[in-house]
Each structure stands twice: as structure tokens, then as C-alpha cells.
Structure 1
Amino acid sequence: MITKLKIPYLKTFIFCAILLLSTLPMASANISDEDPDVFWTQFQHNALKTGTTYSSAPYSDPAVLWRGTTNPSQSAVSVTPVITDEMAYILISGGNVCAYNKTSGDLVWSSGTKDGSLQTSIPAYGNGKVIVAVNDHYNSGYLFAFNATNGDELWNVSVTEGNFACPVTYFDHRIYVADGLKGGISTKYYYCYDDNGNLLWKHANNDTAGFLWCGASIVEDYIIYPTHEGKLVSLYRTNGTFVDEVDITTDLSFSKPDLGRIRASVSYSDGYIYTTSEDTFTEGYIWKVGFDPVNGVFIDDGWGIRRGFSTSTPVVHDGKVYVGQGEHGYTGDLTCLNDSDGSLLWSYPTDAGVKCSPVISIQKNSAYVYFTGAKTNSSLYCVDQDGQLAWQYNPLDDYGYILQGAAISDEKVFFGTDGGYLYCLEEAPHEPPIPDFTADPTSGYDKLSVDFTDHSTNYPTSWNWDMDNDGIIDHTDQNPTHYYDTSGVYTVTLNVSNVYGNNILSKTDYIVVEADWNPWNDPDSEGLPDGTYITLTEVIDAYNCFRNGTPAPGTGSIIDLTKVIDMYNAFRYENPI
């Protein structure tokens, strides 16, 4: 059913709508009781799929706070993470769920599900549980729930012989997920389970290929989702009763028969449902369709704008619609449209298709948009609300494919790669770094090898090490190794800098190098392989020095019985000394 919005009664409609909406709870009541600036509980932040947050995030000078490795290692990350007040969670290609400390990046737990080869259904968090939809090797779909704190499995249930390929939606102790493309065009279901693993209802969708990335939005009492073929469906979220549907290819005054297919979720904002479709490898549509949140029916109001190929879920903020465009293997862009009529405001081009859904941090009286490019060795981008690049981050030594987008929480932005890593970036402090370092060992005999480790804060970008306080820079690596050939006491100085300035730290008399008492560990001696292995002849020489009270040749050290025993044990067990 389509409700026509008749222009002669528009003012009356708006006035009545304002009165009615003033008696309703705000849309934020449909999200959760958790702090929305801290919790990113599912795909595009919440059950409305708004994709926006008032948490700040890196806006000019991003720095890697940590990089987490998947367990098992090198397992691809093809989904966006889910973030709580303490943890970041990801589902990896092998089927494990990995949980990381949000501040340190330490792996807290990794729990297995099914050993499927590819997992693309984004998890959700709710009621202290991490909910994941996974596929086994037969591409059959299961739901799992884990204790969010320790990773203990709470329950799992076999849901479908089909597969899962759309995000998990969680709201009010209910879990929503749908059949994927396995089995071709047939009857496919949207399912609702409670968060104890009990099936509450399932709704049959006839003659559909299934749901690939077609996640739902929860608006008041209704669940709204798209179908592959171009329909929008509205059900009562608690019992699955059918309310309304609209075929975007035929039922609207702005319908387009060449819609193609929908492989994106829907988002909701101020009385409208937003989604995208793909027609060819280079072209598709962006859609805005009216929706009555009181009665759960669609309204013939909005627009459909033909632009580029898109699997991206639109994000709406401050009169603008942001959406990614571009397929695998093609160039792409982040597009910004005028929300009122769909006209193009600007686009930011990229060398890879933007298949992900953008997310927005609203901060400093502005909005910053975060998105990734879909290709190997790609980047995370940040542009401002006017389409100007704020920064671009390409992970070092990580050539994995980037498929999904980012999540924002607590002034940080998180994203993963198929290289098997989860990244956490924050805004670098706009001040000079504070130097600190340690060394191991800090004492020993000459020809001493010392490993230095930088512990400076505020993200230095250059390091100048003076290892012997002679005013000459010995190393510029962050964590160098230095060899002390001569006995003595050494002061070590580190000068660290970034674009905001520099600071210097000197540790006085930090390295103590003593003259080596043992002339028999010289590389020119007879012990193999490099002279540091002791021969029987050298043990006898040392014993004679001890017996006769004569100093060791070359070093003048007094040889006691302990040193003789050490040399004998080194000879006996073929260990260097």
C-alpha cells in the first residue's frame, strides 16, 4: 500500500504531524540505553542504522593507537567491528570472534563458531552478549551468542540451510537476520530470535534471490528491510505480522524500472527510508522513500537519483545524504546529495570503489565522514562536510583487501583488513612528544650489544639517539641496537620530534661497560664456531692462571675458581661464554 502525500493538504499534514510527534518518544529511544558516543553496537551504529555519532574521532592528524592481530592469525576481517565501553569485537573469516581491549589493543579472548571460509555478516552487541551469524563449510547459517566479557559461548542455534550475508540487527532483546543468496530465487525468510536463542517468528519472502547486505532498520514498532529485487517491507517487529510493502520499481511516482538489485541495508531519518541499488557495474540509484513511523506504511514521497553503482547504506545529517559508490575493480567516490531533492552537492573521488557505508563523527561544529576504498592495499579516508580531504591512512606492511567500513567510539575510529588486522586510530595530541626509553642490558663487558626501546608518547615521528654523549647522532631508528666496543660509563640522549616540536631526555651514566676478564672468548681464538666456544686447552690455561695466581693474559683479570668452573661447563656443554 502506498499513501499519497497530497500537496493541497501539506500544511495541515505537517501541523498535525508536529502535534502528533510531540507526544511520541524521540527516535533516540529506539537506539539503546547505552551511551551512544561510547557504544557502537552494530552495523551503522544502532538499530536505526543512522551511521552518526557525537563522539569525536581523528579529524586532522590520525595516529595508530594499536593494531590487533586476529586469532587465528592472518584471518581476514571482512566486517566492521562492534564497540562497547571496554572492548572491540570482530568476526573473522575462519569463524572466530575476537575481542580486544579498546584502549590497549590486547586480545582478551577468541572464541570459535563454525569453520566457514568467509564470514560477512556483521555482529551485534546487546544485553552483555555478542551475537554473530555465521556459515559453516556447507554454507548453512547459525546464530551464536557469547558472553561479551569472557567469550564463553552462551548458546548456538541452527537457523537455515541457506547462508547468512546480511548484518545482524539487535533491538529490545531481539535479533533479526535473513537468508542469503544460497539456493537462488525461492522463498527466503527474515528471522527474529530472542537473545536467549529462541525463534520468535520468521517471515516468508517469496520469489526472491535473498538478502546480501540487506540489513534492517527498527523504527518504533516496525522492522523495515529491502529485498534483492527492489521491494521495501514493513513488519511488526515483535510478532512479524505483515504491515506494508512497496515495489520501488513500479509503485512510486518516482519509481525506476531499471533499479537493478538492492545489496545494501536501509537507514531511517525523519520520516524517510534510505537505501541504494546497483544496475550495472558503473551505475545505480540512491533512494529516499517516505515512511509513516506511527502506522508503519510507506508514503509516495521522496526521490530516486541515478548515480553510480552502490552497495552502500546512506547516512543522513544536516540536510545532506552521504553514500559510497563504486564496484570491486573500479574507481569510486563518496557522494554527497542535497536531502531535499537528491541533487549533487559534491563527490570525493577515490582509486577504488567505495562499497562500504560511510560513518559520521559530528564534532567541532562540523561533520567528518569516514570510509574505505575496496581494494588490496587501500586506505581509510576522512573528509569534511564540504568534501575536502582531512586525511588518508594506508596501513603500513598490510596489503590485505579492505571491504567494510569503520566504527567510531570514544574519540577513536576502528577498521579491519583482510590482512588479518584490526586498527584503532585516534587524533594525535597537538603538542611535542615526551621522550622515554629503556635499554637491555644496561651493563656488561665490552663488545656489549644493547637493545634500546622507545617509549615516548604523543606520537613522535623522528628519533635522534646519541649513545655516548659526544654530540654525534648514532642512530635515527625508533628502536636501535648499539654496540659498545670500549669499557666505560655512558650517558644516552634521545631527541624526539613531530610537527609540533621536540623534547630531549638524557639518562646519565645509563650504560656501564666493563673490561672483559676473559681473553679466551675472542673471535680469533680456537673455539668454534666464532671463538666464543671454549676449548679444553683454554680451560687448562685458565686453571693454571688460578693455580699459579697469575692474571689472565691480555686483560689482567684475576682468575678465581668460579671462573674456571664456568669455563669448564661452557666447554663440557658446548655453550658460548
Structure 2
Amino acid sequence: MRKFALISLTLIMLTAAASATTFHGDVQRTGNFTASGEIIPHLAWKTQLTGLVGASPVYYNGHIYVTNWFGWGDWQPGLYSLNATTGSVEWRNATISGASSVAVFGNLLVVGDITGMLYYVDAASGDIVKAVKLESSPLWWGIASSPLVYNGSVYVTTFSNGTLWKIDSDGNVVWRYTTGGEIGPYTSPSAFKGLVFFAGNESGNGLLVAVNESGVEQWKFPVDGKITNSPSTDGQRVYVATETKLYAVNLDGTEAWSVAFSGTMSTAAVAYGNVYIGSDGKLYCFNASDGTKKWETAVNGKIDSSPAVAGGVVYFATNTPEGTLYAVDALSGEVLWYYRLSPPSGSYYNIMSSPFIAENKLFIGADSGYVYCFETSGSFEFNVTLIPGKFEVLVNGNSYEVNRTTALGALYESENHTVNGAKVWFEVSLDDSWYSQYGFFIKTIMGLGTDQIDGNWIYWSVWNETGQISVGADRYNLNQKETVYYCYGDGSSLNSCLILLKINADVKPAGISSLELSNGNRGGNITAWVNVTSASTDWYVVVVSGVGEQGEAIAGISTFRLNAGEELRVPVLIHIPQLADQGTYSLYAGVYRFSEYPANLIHLYGPASCEVS
């Protein structure tokens, strides 16, 4: 469990209809969820639906309901029901597809479709109970708005004419309120205390509109530009963004505050007296009362995903070819971990979907065609190669040097490795209170530190194959082939770990830490600079070689002596034949003991690129 100091929580006053399961968690679209512990980047399961999964998965009663849309190759469109525990497909309705997230309405699912239809679907069988045509100009999106179930009725918007629809439990249109202009296709209504809030467009001017349950306008609030996301409310103000501003609007329709802001599809989450919202490359946290920016966190691309908040952590994803799921501390904005998809060449694994948290699991879709499920506990296994040398860590404002070939070096080498086809990075912080006697102890990994669960203290401990290590992780030197374990548990045994990091370390007697290349001309040379470190005094050989775009091979070699613990920047001269192909060359550097060359390669590093002209 992640320790979290509560601060003046915004009172979230839920209506009687809040039990309805819907996009962004509740009818107020607060993005607030419940979890007993921090979700970690441990994949419980992933299920391929094919196509693009842009909708947010929605959990209800042990099931995940989600649509996919468009795609390439063998695309299997549909509204899917998945087993939330295993990820297995329970049923698929191939008629329905799109980016609309479902709303659960008793034993029915309500969802939009790319053809402009709104469907009522039996949750148990997937059979269509009722279909209503609402969007007359569906274009690419149809109804991408996520329906709202509120006080026994369904509310949904259509984008082409900025209309809010109210529909009863039998699928009959009760009324509609039309603003007339086009609105964002993904914006969805929210509700609080008998008011329904939605995006509008009147004569080309963006609006936030509030109507009562009879469809009578209560107020219209003009905004600068088009509303790009869904209004969310904490019961005191309504928060909504355009491409130029983020607004907080009082419940009487007057402005509370606004700030310059580049809005996306990302709908604001409201929790802990803060507003969390994504933009072009950053997640922002604003004070909900006055709009003061508390922090911003840069990520690897645009955020269209709507943040989900649970247990002091904010979860969201980026809409980039290497779509990335992030977890950040809700108070500081510190990145705790990320899970970055690695698409094959020519593919794009963007994430437009928003996280949904239920039963201590996080569910999210991606353009990989998969739905992913992450959980609060589990084990990771990493294979790392460690070379002699040192790296620097900063602890409590103090700078320390750590040997790469220690248990701590193995942990830092593990924090950015590929797991299940994705790159996983996690935060590590250290405690130097007993440094002079024992070295560093682990303070947190992934934001998780010493805590108490059911009266038992849990913390990070470090183990090898024979037992718990009694010194700091930086004081334990690893053998050539050794496995080290980081256990988050009560310290009694590896079997008691809630989270286990198993790190298989291959410790090299010498290694390369960097490779720099100059460019060169035909008939001339390329100079390579290779940083080599050795654990023992010996003679060594470095070979730098590789090929160009057309398969032309070039190579160079240097021989040198290193003392134990010494690091040397070794120059290697690579001759370029007069008739060599022009273009980009990819080169690698390898180091050998002189006495074992060329039979035994110790360490290979690269590639690095250079140009031949």
C-alpha cells in the first residue's frame, strides 16, 4: 500500500445515480476510483481485440465492456465483454464499434456506434435490445460521446449539431437540446444535483451549457474556442478545457477562474482539492479553488487520455506511436513508473483510451488492438549485464558514487528494461541514514516504501539465493553470474513478497560504457572513441565494426592496457575504402582480453551511427 498524506479533500457529493458505471468513474466525471494499493506496471493479462481500442474499458460485476474501431488486416470490430480476472472474451457483438465508452444501466449497456446509432445491449448475452439513430452526419466518429446514466435516464451528445439528448430506459427520446454548431466528437455530458453539463456551439462560439432534467436551460457559459473534452465537476465548480484555456465555472454559471491552457481530449480529474488534466506533452495539476498551478510533469507526447486518480496516484497515457501508461504522485507530480509499448517497425501503438480502475486493477486499451490489465502486486524478472565502473546517485542533496557491479547497480540497470514487449521504468529512492556503517537502504521503488498492512510492517529487503543480505545494496558486490532479489513484504521470506523483482546479473570483467563516432570520407578514416573499464589489470583489444545501408563493412582495432578499476577513453581508427558505399553506417564496439582474442568476446556495445560521404 502506498502511504499518502491526505490534504483538504474536495467533497465529492455523489447523486443517487452514481452507482451507474460509466466513463471516468461516475456521473460527475471526476476520475476518482478506489484501490487498496498502488497499481504497478505488472501485467495481469492482455487480450487482443484487433483494430484500435480507443474507448475506455468499463468494469461492472466481474466483466470489462469495451468497443474497438477501425483497423487494418484482420480487424474484428465489436462491443466486447471480457472476464475481468482472466481477460478471456465472453462475447462479441460484431454490429457495434467505435470509440464510445459504455454506461451500465441495470442489466443493460448503453453505447454509441460509428454509424450514429445509440444501442441498448443485454449485458449478459450481448444481444441488442434497442437501437436509436441520433447522429445524422456520423462521418468518422458516429457517436463517440460516452453516454451518461443519471436518475433513470440516458444523456448523450451528438457532435454534428451540438445536441444533448435525453432518452428513457426503453430507448425513447424524451427531449433534445440543440445548440446548432459542431462540437468535439468525444465530449460527453456530466451531471450534479439535477443539472446536466455539456459542450455546445452557438454560431461558431463554444459554450458550456447547463440544463435541468426537463431540458430547460439554466445557463450558458461562453468559452474561447471549441471544448475538446468532457466537463467534470467536484460539486463546487465545473472544469472544462478548450484548445486555449482551462475554465472553472461556478454552479450558477459564473466564472470562478481560467488559465491559458492547450486542451486536448483529456478530461480533468478532480481530487484532493486539485484538478489534474493532460495537454500537449505535460500533465498539469491546478488548485481547484483558484487555478494556481501546483506542478507540471513532462511526458513523451500528447495526452488525450483522461487521468484516473486512486490512492494518491494519478494514472494516464500518451497518444504517441510508443503509447505509454504513466503513474505519478498526486501531490508532487513525480513519475513513479511508466509502461511504454514497443510497436514493430511501421506500426503505431498510440493510446487514446483512459484508465479505468476497479477491483485493485487498472484497465486500458491501445492502438495495438489490446486491452491491458495491471494489478497491485506481482513479480518481475530482468536480465542485466553489468560492467565495471561507477555511477552517481543523489540522496538528500548529497552526491555518492556507486559501483555498477553491486546489487544496487543491478537495480538501477533493471529500471528501464523490456518486459512483455514493453519498456518498464520505475522510480528508485534511497535512504542514507546509515550510509557510513551499512551503505544505502531502499527507501522506495515505484513510490512504494515502508508501510503497515493489517498490523504488519512491509518494506523493501534485498536477497540472494541463500538469504537476506545484511548490508546496503551498494555494499554487496555480485559474482559473475548471480541473481539478486528485491522483495516488498514483511521480510520473512521471498514467498511473502507482495512485489518481487528478480534480477539475473551477468557481471563482466571489463565493459564498454560509451561509443562516439566521427563522420568520414571515402579513402579517409572514421575515429571512434570507446570508453572501457576493467575490474582487473590486463591487456585488452577493442574492435569497432559494422555495416552501411548497402551492406558495406568497415572495421578498426586498438590494443591497450588497463589497471584494475581504471576507465580509459580508447581511440580506434577505422579506414574507409576508396570505393566504399556512401550513407549511414551502424557500428558496434567489442572488448576482448588480449590473450583470448578473438575467441572470447567479453562485452558488446552499440550501435552508434556515422556518415560516410
TM range (shorter): 0.5 to 0.7
Q: 1:83 to 1:194 in 2, by over 3 A?
A: same
AA partner of residue 363 (structure 2): F
Number of the residue aligned with 1:336? 285
Q: Mean Cα displacement is larger for which, 417-426 or 120-129?
A: 120-129
Please tell me whether the aligned partners of residues 183 and 226 of structure 2 are also in contact (alpha carbons under 8 angstroms). no
TM-score (normalizing by structure 1): 0.60
Cα deviation for residue 236 of structure 1 reads 1.6
**Residue deviations 1:428-485, cap 9 Å, x none?**
248999xxxxxxxxxxxxxxxxxxxxxxxxxxx89xxxxxxxxxxxxxxxxxxxxxxx
**Residue deviations 1:513-551, cap 9 Å, x none?**
xxxxxxxxxxxxxxxxxxxxxxxxxxxxxxxxxxxxxxx
How far apart are the structure 1 equivalents of 2:351 and 2:41? 18
Cα deviation for residue 87 of structure 1 reads 0.3
AA partner of residue 242 (structure 2): S
Give 3-state SS (helix, strand or coil) of 1:42's partner: coil
How far apart are the structure 2 equivalents of 1:197 and 1:78? 25
Number of the residue aligned with 1:413? 362
Give 3-state SS (helix, strand or coil) of 1:311's partner: coil
AA partner of residue 209 (structure 1): E
TM-score (normalizing by structure 2): 0.56
Number of the residue aligned with 1:97? 79
How far apart are the structure 2 equivalents of 1:497 and 1:429? 16
Please tell me whether the aligned partners of residues 102 and 147 of structure 2 are also in contact (alpha carbons under 8 angstroms). yes
Please tell me whether the aligned partners of residues 363 and 373 of structure 2 are also in contact (alpha carbons under 8 angstroms). yes
2:236 paired residue among 271, 287, 293: 271
Cα deviation for residue 211 of structure 1 reads 4.0
Cα deviation for residue 83 of structure 1 reads 0.7
Cα deviation for residue 30 of structure 1 reads 4.1
AA partner of residue 207 (structure 2): K
Number of the residue aligned with 1:319? 273
Cα deviation for residue 390 of structure 1 reads 1.1
Number of the residue aligned with 1:290? 250
**Residue deviations 1:484-514, cap 9 Å, x none?**
xxxxxxxxxxx998532867xxxxxxxxxxx
Q: 1:57 to 1:133 in 2, by over 3 A?
A: farther
Please tell me whether the aligned partners of residues 275 and 314 of structure 1 are also in contact (alpha carbons under 8 angstroms). yes
Number of the residue aligned with 2:144? 165
2:103 paired residue among 114, 124, 137: 124
Give 3-state SS (helix, strand or coil) of 2:112's partner: strand
Please tell me whether the aligned partners of residues 122 and 167 of structure 1 are also in contact (alpha carbons under 8 angstroms). yes
Equivalent residues in 2 for 1:105-184 (5 A)? 105-114=87-96, 119-136=98-115, 141-163=116-138, 164-181=143-160
Cα deviation for residue 57 of structure 1 reads 5.5
Q: 1:188 to 1:288 in 2, by over 3 A?
A: closer
How far apart are the structure 2 equivalents of 1:267 and 1:301? 15
Q: 1:96 to 1:354 in 2, by over 3 A?
A: same
- Kindly indicate whether residue 422 of structure 2 is the aligned counterpart of residue 422 of structure 1: no
Cα deviation for residue 131 of structure 1 reads 1.0
The structure number with the bigger radius of gyration is 1
1:32 paired residue among 10, 13, 18: 18
Equivalent residues in 2 for 1:45-124 (5 A)? 45-56=25-36, 58-59=38-39, 61-70=40-49, 74-94=50-70, 95-114=77-96, 119-124=98-103
Please tell me whether the aligned partners of residues 12 and 234 of structure 2 are also in contact (alpha carbons under 8 angstroms). no
Equivalent residues in 2 for 1:183-222 (5 A)? 187-206=161-180, 208-222=181-195
Q: 1:57 to 1:261 in 2, by over 3 A?
A: farther
Q: 1:62 to 1:31 in 2, by over 3 A?
A: farther
AA partner of residue 35 (structure 2): S
How far apart are the structure 1 equivalents of 2:37 and 2:367? 23
1:247 paired residue among 202, 222, 228: 222
**Larger fraction in helix:** 1
Please tell me whether the aligned partners of residues 257 and 291 of structure 2 are also in contact (alpha carbons under 8 angstroms). yes
Give 3-state SS (helix, strand or coil) of 2:18's partner: coil
**Residue deviations 1:303-353, cap 9 Å, x none?**
110033433211121221111001xxxxx1100112222121111101211
Cα deviation for residue 122 of structure 1 reads 2.1
Give 3-state SS (helix, strand or coil) of 2:289's partner: coil
Give 3-state SS (helix, strand or coil) of 1:374's partner: coil
AA partner of residue 126 (structure 2): G
How far apart are the structure 1 equivalents of 2:191 and 2:168? 15
**Residue deviations 1:111-158, cap 9 Å, x none?**
1225x7xx222221121111111122xxxx101111112212212122
How far apart are the structure 2 equivalents of 1:302 and 1:318? 18
How far apart are the structure 2 equivalents of 1:196 and 1:57? 40
AA partner of residue 218 (structure 1): A
Give 3-state SS (helix, strand or coil) of 1:351's partner: strand
Cα deviation for residue 32 of structure 1 reads 2.9
Number of the residue aligned with 2:335? 389
Give 3-state SS (helix, strand or coil) of 2:354's partner: coil
How far apart are the structure 2 equivalents of 1:142 and 1:390? 41
Number of the residue aligned with 2:486? 499
Number of the residue aligned with 1:506? none
How far apart are the structure 2 equivalents of 1:431 and 1:395? 17
Superposed CA RMSD in Å reads 2.7
How far apart are the structure 1 equivalents of 2:206 and 2:78? 33
Please tell me whether the aligned partners of residues 122 and 166 of structure 1 are also in contact (alpha carbons under 8 angstroms). yes
Q: 1:317 to 1:99 in 2, by over 3 A?
A: same
Give 3-state SS (helix, strand or coil) of 1:230's partner: strand
Please tell me whether the aligned partners of residues 54 and 365 of structure 2 are also in contact (alpha carbons under 8 angstroms). yes
AA partner of residue 171 (structure 2): G
Question: How much identity, in percent, do the aligned residues show?
Answer: 23
How far apart are the structure 2 equivalents of 1:236 and 1:44? 22
Please tell me whether the aligned partners of residues 62 and 428 of structure 1 are also in contact (alpha carbons under 8 angstroms). no
AA partner of residue 154 (structure 1): V
Give 3-state SS (helix, strand or coil) of 2:265's partner: coil
Give 3-state SS (helix, strand or coil) of 1:392's partner: strand
Q: 1:353 to 1:285 in 2, by over 3 A?
A: same
Number of the residue aligned with 1:484? none
Please tell me whether the aligned partners of residues 56 and 412 of structure 1 are also in contact (alpha carbons under 8 angstroms). no
Please tell me whether the aligned partners of residues 110 and 147 of structure 2 are also in contact (alpha carbons under 8 angstroms). yes
Number of the residue aligned with 1:473? none
Give 3-state SS (helix, strand or coil) of 2:242's partner: strand
Give 3-state SS (helix, strand or coil) of 2:301's partner: coil
How far apart are the structure 1 equivalents of 2:82 and 2:484? 30
How far apart are the structure 1 equivalents of 2:120 and 2:35? 28
**Residue deviations 1:355-376, cap 9 Å, x none?**
2211100x2xxx1000001111
Give 3-state SS (helix, strand or coil) of 2:15's partner: helix
Gaps of 5+ in 2: 1-10, 71-76, 383-418, 421-481, 488-492, 496-613
Cα deviation for residue 264 of structure 1 reads 0.8
How far apart are the structure 1 equivalents of 2:232 and 2:263? 18
AA partner of residue 53 (structure 1): F
